[in-house]
Structures are given as structure tokens and as C-alpha cells.
Amino acid sequence: MNLLSLFVLIPLLMLLGLWIARNVNQVRGVMVAGSSLLLILAAYLTVSYIGLRQAGATEEMLFTDSISWYAPLHICYSVGVDGISVVMLLLSAIIVFTGTFASWKLKPLTKEYFLWFTLLSTGVFGFFISTDLFTMFMFYEVALIPMYLLIGVWGSGRKEYAAMKLTLMLMGGSAFLLIGILGIYYGAGGETMNILEIVQQKIPTEMQRIFFPMVFLGFGVLGALFPFHTWSPDGHASAPTAVSMLHAGVLMKLGGYGCFRIAMYLMPTGAAIWGDFFLVLTTISVVYGAFSAVVQTDLKYINAYSSVSHCGLVLFALLMMTRVSATGAILQMLSHGLMTALFFALIGMIYGRTHTRDIRQLSGLMKIMPFLAVGYVIAGLANLGLPGLSGFVAEMTVFVGSFQNPDLFHRTCTIIATTSIVITAVYILRVVGKILYGTCQNPEHLKLTDATWDERFAVICLIIAVAELGLAPYWVSHLISGSVEPIISQLIH
């Protein structure tokens, strides 16, 4: 059996296990066992992928497999990974693993919560391993729908509104996406749904002109593309901790990944036609998100807008269409995934204690919960691009890569986008200064306790991942840039 299919099989077995489980401890047992298996599997996949590449494997995708599923439409269950999907799988496995610990004490309906959570991760893993358009789309939908229930049932604040808004906007995006995918299918002759085969065909320019924006927008909504990002602040604010983590950490990456792997790879001419238009939108996202974050007062809103800015940078770098910038985009996805998950985990833990996320009501937390506060500072520093943590590596690759595109328009956009590093510093330090430093004003907060072991474990795992990527980026960058090559060479010619 193919190694990659395990990424879908394990979550499915976990679903079964959860269904059978009788009490909370059994539920936790299943989750820990399953998510650690996934993590080990992802690590093993990474190692063996690198090993195969070093041994001289030159195919674009490794571990490929294909089973016919619905022959009349040429739908297959086909899988395969390249460097980009390998790092995305690794990222997802880390987030699912730490997310499990971050929602250790979640109540009520623990079992049901984890059921939906696992279903969501099935979708995510399935999406990253697929090379078939239709299968990919199916997994994409599997990942989106549980979000509605997870926010609607276990969320906080205006949860029904937020859940509905998020789902409807993302579904709107996937409606475009479906049309786009069908367009690609017929444009490429209607003989295959496999990405690797479609790319050999040439889709007519007129069709690319029509369908590129549909696919790009469809995925772009999930990647928080301006002006379709407004689901993100409300959605994140209402979502429970682990769902925010998974959503910002992994689900938003589906957007960037799809834009690159489907829209740009399969329709390079469309990308050339529409590139400048979307580049303007992404540049706006980058700066606009950062500026909006400056005046927010809810911790999660700040992070949601910061995600708009950082995910904007992913799409921005992709549209710069150089090898280095595309590598940077993938690194940025990885880095943003890790540090945002860390941020949301910490915000969730702080909120769980103080029952408020309003920065005007929080102060002096450094004295009260030093562990969480230090974690928050580290996450903040990673976010504003401190060397030695992941943000720096990703941002610098993006900026150096974007600068390789020498015409004036791209140059101008690059320089505008770089200003975000200053604004990021403004909103991060504002929050850190307000909520962590100073003396505690609220006597109720003095009684609060620091992180418990499960929380510490989740936070430490994420910090290690963030620091690893920041300190030794060579192997990841190398892994990604090799796989970016075929896609970029499509785009340049």
C-alpha cells in the first residue's frame, strides 16, 4: 500500500476509534495515538523524500499512485508528493498534534468535538497528497464543512453569525473553484483530471483568461485575499482555540497551495494575464492587514488581521513568479502556520483564564503567568521577523525573491510590501507592552495560574518548530526550491 494513503487512513481509523470510545480518557488516547502516528509518519516521509532525492530521483512527484475511481469523468484517486506538499504535510501534522494538546480540557461534547476535528484533518491531509483535481476538490470540501460545526457549536461570542459567514464565504469561493476546475478539465481536452497530465496539455489562452481568475479567487478567499478576507477576523474570534490554530495554521495554507499548484501551474498564460491585477490586491492585503491590526483591541482580531497581512505575503510572493519568491511563499506558509498556531494557542490559554481578550482589560500578565507571557513574546518576535525564528527566514526569502523581478511595477509593489515589517513591529509591541508588561490592574487576575503541563507541551513543541526553521533553514529551503522549479519554469516560459 502507498505510504501517502496512510495520511488519510490514519485519520479515518481515528474517527472509528473516537466513535467507539466511551469516555474522555479513551478519546484523548485515540487522539494522542493517532496524531503522534501522523507526526511520525510525516517526519518519516520527509526523511525518505530527502533520501530519494539525494539518491537521484528526478521525477516531479514521488510516491505516486493512482486508482481509477469514476472512469467516465476520468476521476482517479491519485496521490503523489513533491517538496512543497511534504513540508505542508509536516506542518499539518505538527498543528494537529499540538492542537490536540491545546484542546485537552475542552468541554462539553469532547468526543464530538474531536470527531469533527479529525474529519477536518482528514480533509487537509487528503488535499495535500492528491494530484487529481476532483479528489483534491473533494478533500477541500471535507476540510471546510466541519469548520461550520466546530465554530457554531464550540465557539464563543457571535458564533452562529461567524460560522455562517465563514462557511458561506468559503463556499462561495469553492463555487467559483468548481467551475474553474471543470474549465481546466475541458480546456485540457477532457481526458484526464490528473494535474501532472493536464500540465502536458496546453489549455487555450481564451479559456485560461476566463478560468484563471475563478480558480485563483476561489482559493484566494481561503488565503484571505483582499477584499474577501472579512470572514477571517470574525471566524477566528469565535472559533475555539484548536480550531483557530488549525484554521490559520493549515487551512489558510490550502488557499496558497491551491493558487500555486492548480491556478498558476496549470494556467501559466492566465497567470501572466491576470498577474498584475492580483498582485495589486495582494499588495493591498499585506499593507492593509497590517495597518488594520494596529488599532484592534481584541487579541484574536489583531492576529486575524496579522494573518491577512502575512497570508497576503504568500500570494504576493507567488505572483512575483521568480524561483526564489515562490520558495519564499512556501516558507512563509510554513512559518506563518507555525507561529500563528502558536499565537492562537497562547491567546486561547490566556482567554481561558482571564475570560477576556480585550487588551484594554489585560495588563501585567508577565508576573502572573510567566510561561505563557514568555511564549507570547517569542511568538510576537517570530511574527515581526526576528532572525533565529521562522518569520525572518520566510520574509527575507520573499523579499529577496521579489526583488529578482526587475520591472518597475513589481519593484514598487515589493517596496510597498516591505513597509509591512515596520507596521508589524508596531502592532506586536503595542500588544506585548499593553497586556504583558506593566502592573496588573485587575485584582481578579492576580489569582490566575500559569500553564498546565498539556499547554506547556503544546507551546514548547511549536516554539521548537519555529526556532528550528529559523536557525537551520537550509534543508527546508533546499527541499522546497527543488520542487518549485518545474512550476516556475512553466510560468516563465
Task: Determine contact, residues 491/268, Cβ cutoff 8 Å.
Answer: yes
Rule CB under 8 A: say whether 473 interacts with another protein: yes
Please list, residue by residue across 114-143, b when 16 or more beta carbons sit within 10 angstroms of its beta carbon and e when fewer do: bbbbbbbbbbbbbbbbbbbbbbbbbbbbbb
Question: DSSP states of 392-457 as a string?
Answer: HHHHHHHHHHHHT--SHHHHHHHHHHHTHHHHHHHHHHHHIIIIISS----GGGGG-----HHHHH
Judged by CB under 8 A, does residue 481 bind another protein? yes
Sequence-ordered strand ranges (E) for 157-221: none
Helices 370-383 and 390-403: angle between axes, nearest 10 degrees:
10
Q: Considering only 66-74, 79-87, 138-146, 228-236, which stretch makes contact with another protein by CB under 8 A?
A: 228-236
Minimum CB distance to another protein, residue 433 (Å): 5
Q: Is 376 in the site for another protein (CB under 8 A)?
A: no
CA angle 394, 398, 403 (to 5 degrees): 150
C-beta closer to another protein: residue 63 or 288: 288
- The residue assigned the cell 510525516 is 42
Residue of the chain from 3, 33, 153, 426 that contacts another protein (CB under 8 A): 426
Helix 159-187 and helix 133-154: axis angle, to 10°? 180
Q: Is 230 in the site for another protein (CB under 8 A)?
A: yes
Q: Are 434 and 380 in contact (CB under 8 A)?
A: no
169 vs 193, which CB is nearer to another protein? Answer: 169
Contact region for another protein (CB under 8 A) — 12-20, 72-80, 453-461, 473-481? 473-481
| Count of Cβ atoms closer than 10 Å to residue 334 Cβ | 27
CB nearer to another protein: give 10 or 342.
342
Point out which span in 101-109, 149-157, 310-318, 416-424 binds another protein (CB under 8 A). 416-424
Query: Is 371 among the residues that bind another protein (CB under 8 A)?
Result: no
Does position 456 interact with another protein (CB under 8 A)? The reply is: no
Stretches 82-90, 145-153, 198-206, 223-231: which one binds another protein (CB under 8 A)? 223-231
Q: Rule CB under 8 A: say whether 292 interacts with another protein.
A: yes
Spatial distance between the Cα atoms of 419 and 144, rounded to a whole number of angstroms: 33
Chain positions 152 to 181 lying near another protein, rule: CB under 8 A, are 165, 168-169
- Using the contact rule CB under 8 A, the part of the chain among 61-69, 128-136, 322-330, 353-361 near another protein is 322-330
Q: Is 453 in the site for another protein (CB under 8 A)?
A: no
436 part of the interface to another protein, by CB under 8 A: yes
Phi, psi of 67 (to 5 degrees): -125, 130
Binding segment toward another protein, per CB under 8 A, in 58-66, 241-249, 424-432, 446-454: 424-432
366 touches another protein (CB under 8 A) = yes
Q: Under DSSP, is residue 388 helix (H, G, I), strand (E, B) or coil?
A: coil
Neighbour count for residue 184 (Cβ, 10 Å): 26
- Return the axis-axis angle of helices 299-320 and 408-418, rounded to nearest 10°: 160
Q: Is 477 in the site for another protein (CB under 8 A)?
A: yes
- Under the criterion CB under 8 A, does residue 391 sit at the interface with another protein? no
Cβ-based nearer residue to another protein, 165 or 209: 165
How is residue 320 written as a grid cell? 512575483
By CB under 8 A, the count of residues binding another protein is 55
Please identify, using beta-carbon distances, which residue of 100 and 390 lies nearer to another protein.
390
Q: Rounded to whole angstroms, how far apart are CA atoms 14 and 123?
A: 13
Report the residue number, 93 or 381, with the smaller CB distance to another protein. 381
Residue pair 148/161 in contact by the 8 Å Cβ criterion: no
380: cell is 510576537
Q: Which residues form the interface with another protein (CB under 8 A)?
A: 165, 168-169, 227, 230-231, 234, 288, 291-292, 294-296, 323-324, 327, 364, 366-367, 381, 384-388, 392-393, 396-397, 399-401, 403-404, 406, 414-415, 418-419, 421-422, 425-426, 429-430, 433, 436-439, 473-474, 477-478, 481
